[in-house]
């Protein structure tokens, strides 16, 4: 087991975020993960932005809504969440008696970080008559300060479910919020947060790419900035984008979201071409650095040693659960 002893790695977990031990390179990690799933009655839930190997070993791959719904319904005793912290935390909020594991506790989210609870509390106090709809990409503290949670696949329906004379705060994503204002005609007060991955797409480079691929459809996630959304042929959650790429007749797509989703797009439509929308940065990559902190090795280690585990203050958990339940109820009502 490498140079660092497991006992030492466990002690160091809060600092490292994961079990920092070497894994025997000859170990069949796919086989080991399958063995651990059966032995421990564990389910592996993965977001589409995870690396391809993790997606291939997962029991369920989905967008934030699908993952929350799956976490709520599973009979497994252990939920292994291959995603970022707010996703695993949501699974724990819904499953207080189950063990929820996250391969790397430092897999955070720039969007969730853009809403510090104390500042948000002050912001909310300035709008006392407003109902708070928060995007699921936020911490449990923000969820506890919210009335309803939404994801990119149900946000429009959630906003429309609120009476028209009820003023609304939408947090933390200003891009999704702006998109919803346009779609629903509701004048919402927006928190000024954004996702670091969806803010870096270059309109100029996408326009140039489109000239080289005139038949390509531009498909974008609603976390993208308005100029990108304006030129998109289709806007949707990761599941929405994947479905569109499967059902639409075009043969080429310029995909404006994190590149992890291309794995499933390419797998289900091998005859089509999927081009990642170019970002405006020097490394030319639109990987989410948080999502990509998880690796197959860390996934195996967290299943083997059942660490790192998500733990929560019970009072906070109960308060954060209410707006998630409202979201799940509204989603079920609309068959989402
Ligand atoms: P969805 O998968 O719900 O579309 O969310 C995208 C995202 O940015 C998750 O972090
Ligand atoms: Fe957060 Fe953006 Fe990464 Fe999703 S892609 S986890 S919103 S930083």
CA of 157 to the centre of ligand 2 (A): 22
Separation of alpha carbons 92 and 71, rounded Å: 9
Flag whether pLDDT at 66 surpasses 70: yes
pLDDT tens per residue, range 235-263: 999 999 999 999 999 999 999 999 999 99
Q: What are phi and psi of 253, to 5 degrees?
A: -140, 135
CA of 293 to the centre of ligand 2 (A): 12
Q: Token pair for residue 251?
A: 């043969």
Ligand 2 contact via 288 beta carbon (within 6 Å): yes
pLDDT tens per residue, range 11-63: 999 999 999 999 999 999 999 999 999 999 999 999 999 999 999 999 999 99
Identify the CA nearest to 76 among candidates 52, 95, 62.
Answer: 95
Flag whether pLDDT at 1 surpasses 50: no
In this prediction, residue 284 carries a pLDDT of 65
Q: Give the CA-trace dihedral at 255, 257, 260, 266, to 10 degrees.
A: -20
Ligand 1 contact via 245 beta carbon (within 6 Å): no
Separation of alpha carbons 222 and 196, rounded Å: 13
CA of 188 to the centre of ligand 2 (A): 23
Mean of pLDDT over the chain: 96
In this prediction, residue 280 carries a pLDDT of 87
pLDDT tens per residue, range 125-153: 999 999 999 999 999 999 999 999 999 99
CA of 198 to the centre of ligand 1 (A): 10
CATH of the domain spanning 3-107+290-312, picked from 3.40.50.1980, 3.40.630.30, 3.40.50.170, 3.40.50.10800 = 3.40.50.10800
- Sign of the CA dihedral with 87 first, then 232, 154, and 176 last: positive
Bond prior to 172 in cis (omega within 30° of 0): yes
pLDDT tens per residue, range 160-217: 999 999 999 999 999 999 999 999 999 999 999 999 999 999 999 999 999 999 999 9
Q: What is the DSSP letter of 151?
A: -
Q: What are phi and psi of 256, to 5 degrees?
A: -100, 75
Beta strands in the chain (DSSP E): 42-47, 60-62, 78-82, 99-101, 131-135, 148-150, 168-171, 189-190, 217-220, 234-235, 252-256, 273-276
Separation of alpha carbons 83 and 102, rounded Å: 8
| Res. 4 pLDDT band, cuts 50 70 90 | low
Mean pLDDT confidence for 83-105: 98
- Sign of the CA dihedral with 141 first, then 144, 147, and 148 last: positive
Q: Token pair for residue 324?
A: 């998630």
Ligand 1 contact via 63 beta carbon (within 6 Å): yes
Ligand 2 contact via 109 beta carbon (within 6 Å): yes
Q: Are 42 and 74 in contact (CB under 8 A)?
A: no
| Res. 314 pLDDT band, cuts 50 70 90 | very high
Annotated ligand binding at 109? The verdict is yes
Mean pLDDT check: name the lowest of 6-10, 125-129, 305-309: 6-10
CATH of the domain spanning 111-195+317-333, picked from 3.30.420.40, 3.30.360.10, 3.40.50.10800, 3.30.1180.20 = 3.40.50.10800
In this prediction, residue 3 carries a pLDDT of 53
Task: Give the largest Cα separation in the chain, rounded.
Answer: 63
Give the pairing of strands 42-47 and 60-62. parallel
Q: Which fold has domain 203-276?
A: Rossmann fold (3.40.50)
Which ligand gives the minimal distance to the CA of 109?
Answer: 2
Which ligand gives the minimal distance to the CA of 292?
Answer: 2
Given its phi and psi angles, is residue 107 left (phi above 0), alpha (psi -120 to 50 degrees) or beta? beta
Count of all residues that appear for the chain in the document: 336
Mean pLDDT confidence for 108-122: 98
For residue 62, count other CB atoms closer than 10 A to its CB.
Answer: 22
List where CATH 3.40.50.10800 sits in the chain: 3-107+290-312, 111-195+317-333, 203-276
| Res. 5 pLDDT band, cuts 50 70 90 | confident
Given its phi and psi angles, is residue 252 left (phi above 0), alpha (psi -120 to 50 degrees) or beta? beta
| Res. 285 pLDDT band, cuts 50 70 90 | confident
Flag whether pLDDT at 283 surpasses 80: no
Nearest-atom index, ligand 1, CA of 291: 10
């Amino acid at each position: 087991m490498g140079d660092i002893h497991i006992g030492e790695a466990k002690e160091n977990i809060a600092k490292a975020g994961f079990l920092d031990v070497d894994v025997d390179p000859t170990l069949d990690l796919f086989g080991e993960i399958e063995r651990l799933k059966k032995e421990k009655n564990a389910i592996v839930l993965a977001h589409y932005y995870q690396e391809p190997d993790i997606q291939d070993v997962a029991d369920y791959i989905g967008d934030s809504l699908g993952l929350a719904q799956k976490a709520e319904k599973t009979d497994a005793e252990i939920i292994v969440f291959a995603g970022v912290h707010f996703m695993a935390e949501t699974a724990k909020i819904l499953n207080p008696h189950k063990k929820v594991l996250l391969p790397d506790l430092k897999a955070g989210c720039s969007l969730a970080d853009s809403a510090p609870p104390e500042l948000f509390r002050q912001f909310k106090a300035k709008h006392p008559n407003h109902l708070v709809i928060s995007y699921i990409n936020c911490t449990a503290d923000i969820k506890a300060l919210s009335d309803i949670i939404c994801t990119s696949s149900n946000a429009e329906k959630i906003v429309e479910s609120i009476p028209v004379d009820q003023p609304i705060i939408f947090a933390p994503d200003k891009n999704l919020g702006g998109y919803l204002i346009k779609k629903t005609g509701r004048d919402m007060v927006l928190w000024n947060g954004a996702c670091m991955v969806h803010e870096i797409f270059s309109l100029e480079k996408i326009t140039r790419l489109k000239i080289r691929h005139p038949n390509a459809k531009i498909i974008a996630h609603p976390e993208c900035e308005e100029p990108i959304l304006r030129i998109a042929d289709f806007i949707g959650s990761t599941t929405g984008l994947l479905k569109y790429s499967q059902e639409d007749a075009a043969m080429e797509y310029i995909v404006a979201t994190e590149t992890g989703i291309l794995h499933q797009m390419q797998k289900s439509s091998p005859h089509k071409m999927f081009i990642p929308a170019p970002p405006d940065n020097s490394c030319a990559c639109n990987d989410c650095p948080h999502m990509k902190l998880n690796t197959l090795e860390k996934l195996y280690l967290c299943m083997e040693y059942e660490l790192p585990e998500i733990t929560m203050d019970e009072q906070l958990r109960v308060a954060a659960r209410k707006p998630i339940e409202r979201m799940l109820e509204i989603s079920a009502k609309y068959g989402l």
